[in-house]
Amino acid sequence: MEYTLNRETNKIELHFEKSAYMALTDAQKSELKRAYLWSGKARAWVSRSTNNHYWAIETAKKLGFTDAGKVGERLSFAEQMERKADRAEARAERFEGYADNAEKRGASMQAELNSYRGDIAFFTQPIIAGHAGSQSFANRRARIYARYDKGFEEYRKSEYFRERAATAQRTADKEQLKNPVYLHNRIKECNATIKKLQERIVTREDNLYKLQQGAELKAWDGSPLTIEGQESGLNEALSKMEYELDKLAFFENALDEIGGVQYSRENIKVGFIVRIKGSGRCEVLSAGPVNVTYKILEGGAAGMVLTDPYAAITEVVQAKEKTAKVENPFVVGDILCKYYGMEAKNGVYKAYEVIKVTGTGVKIQPIAIENREPMPGKFTGEPMQKKVTKSKFSDFVGVYDGDWQLHKYEVKEAAEAV
């Protein structure tokens, strides 16, 4: 029994007779089905995986299959997308057919009861206990009601299949390739994968050179590395690199076709009002090298703060940069605290004393706490510099200890806590 890599589908295929399958134990059949699906079209068991076939190959070896190499020619990523669209188009038509049939069955099941609309006697006629004719009518009416209820189930099936058809049609129409955020994320993923493959290729080439020079190398599990194994790994990495570069070019071309990404940190500034895909009007809170953080200004999600790539921006509504400077509210001697349960009445959990103030920050030093109250001047640790910032989520202006806000301690807070 042999396994092959079909380069056209990028799947591992197991070709063997039904008798060989029947000879497998229940445990082996379960293991086979975890990694493979039966394909009537290929007349073979086909791997569930599409790129990383490690577990599919390990399963095949465990079941006694040997490597028969590769068959077919690899399709370009564009050709793969065309095939995917064609299959989606066929699915959409199939689901539409299922929906039509279910709708017809629903109408047929409800037709008999609908024919009695306006016949008050049919719906209100009382049933006389012990009367054969009356009981026969009751049984017939119950069957009509039951068929009517089943008709609703068919209508629900019809709605389900139409939703599936709509999803398949969106795939067939390649709607995702018109979404700049989707394309940006796919390009980002491709670049990350390419970087990892480049590192793997360099490692394999380095190992090969050392092995060819007579060095003895071992894998992470202590097993010896071989020239054959490194060459095989290098060829696999190069093949995957070719695939990822092809995919990257496809997504980059698709992004170019819809105008590319129009916005970046060069033309988006803090304070701008922009329109974000799926979020409406938003205020830009920060503009990083790759992503923009914004606050939603309208709708049920108003006030939420989210982060997206610049590709999510569809329009600049108001290009007014916010240049308000964050004022430093602290002076030397202030005590900044973190409270139990985040409330002053619960007592102080951690405390720091401000020992120096600059235009944009403070130098603070931890102090002792006794009876859940800070002890000014009793330093317990080394000083640290903190920048004064404004929270993106509230009106808080101050400094943080990790993710915790440090609030200024006041004597009245201690009095209230007593």
pLDDT band at 70 (very low <50, low <70, confident <90, very high): confident
Report which of 64, 86, 93 is spatially closest to residue 3, judged by C-alpha positions: 64
User: Cα–Cα distance between 292 and 283 in angstroms, integer?
Assistant: 10
For 44, phi then psi, to 5°, come to -160, 165
pLDDT band at 412 (very low <50, low <70, confident <90, very high): low
154 and 106 Cβ atoms separated by less than 8 Å? yes
Residue 159 has pLDDT above 50, yes or no: yes
CA-only gyration radius of the chain, Å: 34
Q: Which residues contact 155 (CB under 8 A, 6 or more apart)?
A: 102, 103, 106
Q: What is the pLDDT of residues 305-345, one digit of tens each?
A: 999 999 999 999 999 887 667 788 999 999 999 888 777 77
> Across residues 174-186, what is the average pLDDT?
91
pLDDT band at 273 (very low <50, low <70, confident <90, very high): very high
DSSP state letters, 30-80: HHHHHHEEEETTTTEEEES-SS--HHHHHHHHHTT-EEEEEES-PPPHHHH
| Residue 181, number of CB atoms within 10 A of its CB | 19
DSSP state letters, 164-187: HHHHHHHHHTTGGGG-HHHHHHHH
User: Cα–Cα distance between 171 and 306 in angstroms, integer?
Assistant: 27
Instruction: Write the DSSP symbol of residue 381.
Output: S
Instruction: Identify the residue whose tokens are 């093949």.
Output: 239
Six token digits for residue 313: 């921006």
Between β-strands 273-276 and 11-15, what pairing exists: parallel, antiparallel or unpaired? unpaired
Q: Regarding predicted confidence, which is higher, 412 or 90? A: 90
Report which of 106, 97, 190 is spatially closest to residue 149, judged by C-alpha positions: 106
User: Cα–Cα distance between 9 and 2 in angstroms, integer?
Assistant: 18
Instruction: Write the DSSP symbol of residue 238.
Output: H
Instruction: Write the DSSP symbol of residue 383.
Output: -
Q: What is the pLDDT of residues 9-45, one digit of tens each?
A: 888 999 888 888 888 899 999 999 999 999 888 888 9
User: Cα–Cα distance between 359 and 332 in angstroms, integer?
Assistant: 13
Residue 7's Cβ-count burial label (10 Å; 0-12, 13-18, 19+) is middle
Measured in residues, the chain has a length of: 418
pLDDT at 335: 93
Six token digits for residue 100: 């039509």
> Across residues 85-103, what is the average pLDDT?
92
Between β-strands 404-408 and 397-401, what pairing exists: parallel, antiparallel or unpaired? antiparallel
Residue 418 has pLDDT above 50, yes or no: no
